[in-house]
Amino acid sequence: MLEQQQKYTFVRSMSSLSKREKWILLVPVSLLLPVFIWAGYWEWFQPADWKKILESGKVWQKTLPMIVPLGLFVIVQGGIQWVHRSSKLVIDDTGVFLEWPSYSVFAKWKFLQKRLAWADVKSARYVLSYRGVVLFSTTNSILWTIRLKDWKLSSVEPSQYAIKPAEIDLLGVFRELDIFEDASKDPGQFDLMKHPVTRSILLGICALLVYCFFDSIMQQEGWAFFNIDYLLPHVIFAALATIVLAWAASAANKRLPPPKGITAFLVVLASFSFLVTSYVAGIRINQFAGGPLISAEYHRDDRCENLIPVEKSLPVVEYTHKTKDYWCSREVDEFQTVKVRKGLFGHYQFDLSEQTQAIRDYKKNPTATNVPPASSKSH
């Protein structure tokens, strides 16, 4: 333990984002990249399309779900940095304390201040992958995770004769206290596949993605629309599944829990897997629980941009500029046979495999005259 009256004071270091935080910031951005690639392939970046979207007034409805999570992360991260900018971490022979100077407005907020006496420390671990020290208290079940990168030495009392403050880091002080468990003195990288909680989440995510990949290849039907009404049931399912997973992960393995940051990242990753799985599996569920697959008559509109149903209760088939040449080669009054199924919650889905094949044949040989009537929809 520290010598009597030995006191180390560390101040907040406005360091760059940790690897974990960079990953959290990168996830929503990386998820948008395939969307832009897909949109570029289908020529969504045509000026006429952007004008149509802006004039419809639904641009915020389409972009807010992508912008809000990223904006909230930036605001929360900036808020945490701002709140802690004047905080101090004090380590002496009695314990470790997180406090604010008396002139700070946050000094009056007692819930922000943390105090843990050495006598109340149940155990301590050093997590190399997080570069942080995790303290377990005997008085409550709350963990205190201190990231080494966040703190730099400010002063030592009394000053140590031949040791420069720059040569003393936070980990060195904790090592001097000799509070680490024997298994943690020579820490290794945290292995996601060795811990039962993280291993189960990873294997579950892989299983869901494998199912989505193969089922989406075998499926011939697809949702009629890609809008908030059709996405809402899948968003609700993914949110509920994420809450259950977060509860199960926090309740499992109390004796040696994985780092909270890693668990939180995996839970967020799993939530996107739940959303994709629900979207793909919903088509299969509709095939069994929904109505029959019927053949309905459609005809193209004057602008070669939609297929209009003869029966007004059926949904319109939308398609992109990739198929406009084909539809303009068909007569306006020429009927197209489209397979439609009405599923749960009144959501429709199409089987456009025949139409898609006809469009491909037309693109290979636009001058052919024996191309069968077809319709197209992008998914």
3-state secondary structure of 16: coil
Neighbours of 56 (CB within 10 A): 10
Q: Any residues with CB less than 8 A from the CB of 93 and at least 6 apart, and which?
A: 1, 2, 3, 4, 5, 6, 7, 118
Beta strand residue intervals within the chain, DSSP E:
7-12, 88-92, 95-99, 114-117, 121-127, 132-137, 143-147, 151-157, 221-223, 293-300, 306-309, 317-318, 336-342, 348-351
d(C-alpha 157, C-alpha 5), whole Å:
7
3-state secondary structure of 178: coil
- Partners of residue 231 on adjacent β-strands: none
Phi-psi label, residue 308: left if phi above 0, alpha if psi -120 to 50, beta otherwise = beta
| CA–CA distances in Å: residue 79 to residues 17, 182, 208, 262 | 14, 37, 35, 21
Burial label, 135 (beta-carbon count in 10 A; 0-12, 13-18, 19+):
buried
pLDDT (tens, 9 = 90+) of the chain, 379 residues, equals: 555 567 888 887 765 555 555 665 566 566 556 655 555 544 445 555 556 655 655 555 556 665 666 667 667 766 666 666 778 888 888 888 888 877 776 767 777 778 888 888 888 877 776 677 888 888 766 678 888 888 888 878 776 544 555 557 788 788 777 776 543 443 444 667 777 888 889 899 989 989 988 888 888 898 988 888 899 999 999 999 999 999 988 887 666 677 777 888 889 999 999 999 999 999 999 988 888 999 999 988 888 878 989 998 999 998 877 788 888 888 888 888 999 999 888 899 999 888 888 888 888 877 764 444 444 443 3
3-state secondary structure of 317: strand
